[in-house]
């Protein structure tokens, strides 16, 4: 398994701008070093989720509900993987609009608080990309799984024909084998139980590769986002194609 470094931005609540606290770890850090590495960035502002598009409401919608990876922290909005997915959708001649519901620092609990806001309009596909920050904060895997399941249940109760794509995540090994194993099992288990599509590891081919991450070695560069978008597109595209 590739080693992974990524950020645990700590914006805890709404999708509007607010001060953020950013924590970071690498595979070589102990838990004590992790706690010591927590930085408060004065004046930093969380990425703001896009408004659900009110225009073209007849166009089927793909919602990416995620954290700083979806928000594109460190790159231009047009370089983040949700925007790249829109380009792939358009190039394939498919009539879908991608909604970027990424908020830096968000957790599974935060996503659960936010999901109803997006469900005001019809959502046809939900890409659920949350949980990484839970893992970095040591949230019990059972709590993360419960929150993610509640997001799925809420979305499907509102839009029963909704299709689900779950983005799998991994954690650095220094968080402990027992914890990381339990965390990584969340995503395939949810996919099985909900008959959802699974991206086995969102950052496959990017995590642990310095040249594909920003100078913080935590967030993908524009080139890294291209790989992330392809990881998702391989799973997403078959769900969008008309049934034969």
- Write down the pLDDT at residue 40: 27
Query: Phi-psi bin for 131: left (phi > 0), alpha (psi -120 to 50), beta?
Result: left
The whole-angstrom separation of Cα 87 and Cα 176 is 39
Percent residues over pLDDT 90 in the chain = 69
Answer for the pair 198, 160: CB distance below 8 angstroms, yes or no.
no
Q: Quickly state the pLDDT bin for 57 (edges 50, 70, 90).
A: low
User: Given pLDDT bands bounded at 50, 70 and 90, which one contains residue 172?
Assistant: confident
Which of 23, 68, 104, 108 is the catalytic position? 68
Tens digits of residue pLDDT in 59-103:
899 999 999 999 999 999 999 999 999 999 999 999 999 999 999
Mean pLDDT, to the nearest integer, of 169-193? 95
Whether residue 225 lies in the annotated active site: no
- Residue 230: pLDDT over 80: yes
Structure-model confidence comparison of residues 140 and 31, the more confident one: 140
Torsion of the alpha carbons at 158, 103, 72 and 165, rounded to the nearest 10 = -30
Q: What is the pLDDT of residue 52?
A: 52
User: How much is the average pLDDT of 209-228?
Assistant: 91
Q: Is 216 a catalytic residue?
A: yes
Q: Which of 90, 153, 181, 216 is catalytic?
A: 216
pLDDT score of 167? 98
Would you place residue 25 in the very low, low, confident or very high pLDDT band (cuts 50, 70, 90)? very low
Topology (CATH) of 7-240:
Rossmann fold (3.40.50)
33 alpha-carbon distance from chain centroid: 25
- What average pLDDT does range 8-25 have in this prediction? 36
The predicted pLDDT at position 48 comes to: 41
Average confidence score pLDDT of the chain: 82
Query: Out of 67, 108, 219, 225, which one is annotated catalytic?
Result: 219
End-to-end Cα separation, the chain, in angstroms: 37
* Cα–Cα distance measured from residue 157 to residue 40, given in angstroms and rounded to the nearest whole number: 39
- What is the per-residue pLDDT across 100-149, written as a single tens digit (0 to 9) for each? 999 999 999 999 999 999 999 999 999 999 999 999 999 999 999 999 99
Mean pLDDT computed over 47-64: 65
């Amino acid at each position: 398994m590739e080693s992974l470094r990524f950020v645990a931005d700590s914006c805890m609540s709404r999708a509007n701008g607010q001060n953020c606290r950013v924590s970071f770890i690498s595979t070589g850090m102990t838990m004590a070093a992790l706690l010591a590495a927590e930085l408060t960035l004065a004046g930093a502002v969380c990425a703001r989720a896009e408004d659900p598009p009110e225009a073209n409401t007849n166009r089927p919608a793909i919602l990416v509900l995620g954290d700083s990876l979806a928000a594109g922290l460190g790159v231009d909005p047009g370089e983040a993987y949700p925007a790249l997915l829109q380009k792939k959708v358009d190039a394939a001649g498919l009539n879908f609009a991608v909604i970027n519901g990424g908020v830096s620092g968000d957790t599974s609990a935060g996503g659960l608080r936010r999901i109803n806001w997006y469900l005001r309009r019809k959502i046809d596909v939900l890409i659920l990309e949350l949980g990484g920050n839970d893992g970095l904060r040591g949230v019990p895997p059972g709590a993360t799984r419960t929150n993610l399941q509640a997001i799925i249940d809420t979305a499907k109760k509102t839009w029963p024909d909704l299709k689900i794509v779950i983005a799998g995540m991994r954690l650095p090994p220094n968080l402990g084998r027992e914890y990381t194993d339990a965390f990584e099992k969340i995503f395939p288990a949810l996919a099985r139980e909900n008959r959802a599509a699974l991206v086995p590891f969102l950052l496959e081919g990017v995590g642990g590769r310095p040249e594909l991450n920003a100078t913080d070695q935590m967030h993908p560069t524009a080139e890294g986002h291209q790989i992330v978008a392809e990881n998702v597109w391989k799973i997403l595209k078959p769900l969008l194609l008309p049934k034969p």
